[in-house]
Structure 1
């Protein structure tokens, strides 16, 4: 019985590592123009989003959408995005792997 319990705990602890990657968000296009499809910025001054914490990205997007963060460009880019789309974008970027940046 102990062996079975130990095996179950071992499988449960590695389960998240094998979770399916999130699907490419339908609203990724405008975000990708500045932040890159994989979260590596394409525009100087735009932050890299790859690998950021999911909760942080979700909350930041909500704040841009709702105007609690005063960034007119971001508010215009997000527009009236719903919570489901917002969550999809946050999941996508948090699941991306940051890449080393080349030197200028």
Structure 2
């Protein structure tokens, strides 16, 4: 019985994904969080959830909004002038968040 318990605990530990350390909360998060939520779960209808999105996707999407290649006036205004470092911090933050299923 003891061996079964040890094996079960070992399998459970192996199945638990290792999570990297959470990046620091970006200083520019406030305006993004108004629509997308602080942890990436949308706060308003029509805003996409960003939690758990691929880092490279978020980084490129933010660049496109900033540079005008994605012509969405609301996002262009929300992002405003943002440095590559700030953009990267936002992308890292939202990609590191865990998506949460909506409640009933």
**Normalising by structure 2, what TM-score?**
0.81
- Structure 1 partner of 2:32: 31
Q: Map 1:83-98 onto structure 2 (within 5 A).
A: 83-98=84-99
**CA-atom RMSD, angstroms?**
1.3
- Structure 2 partner of 1:41: 42
Bigger Cα Rg: 2
How far apart are 1:18 and its partner, in Å?
4.8
Task: Specify every segment of 5 or more residues in structure 2 that has no aligned partner in the other structure, as ranges.
Answer: 1-17
Per-residue CA deviation, residues 11-69 of structure 1 (Å, 9 max, x unaligned), is: xxxxxx35321000000000000000000000100000000000000000000000000
Structure 1 segments (4+ residues) deviating >6 Å: none
d(CA) in 2 for partners of 1:18, 1:92: 14
Task: Specify every segment of 5 or more residues in structure 1 that has no aligned partner in the other structure, as ranges.
Answer: 1-16
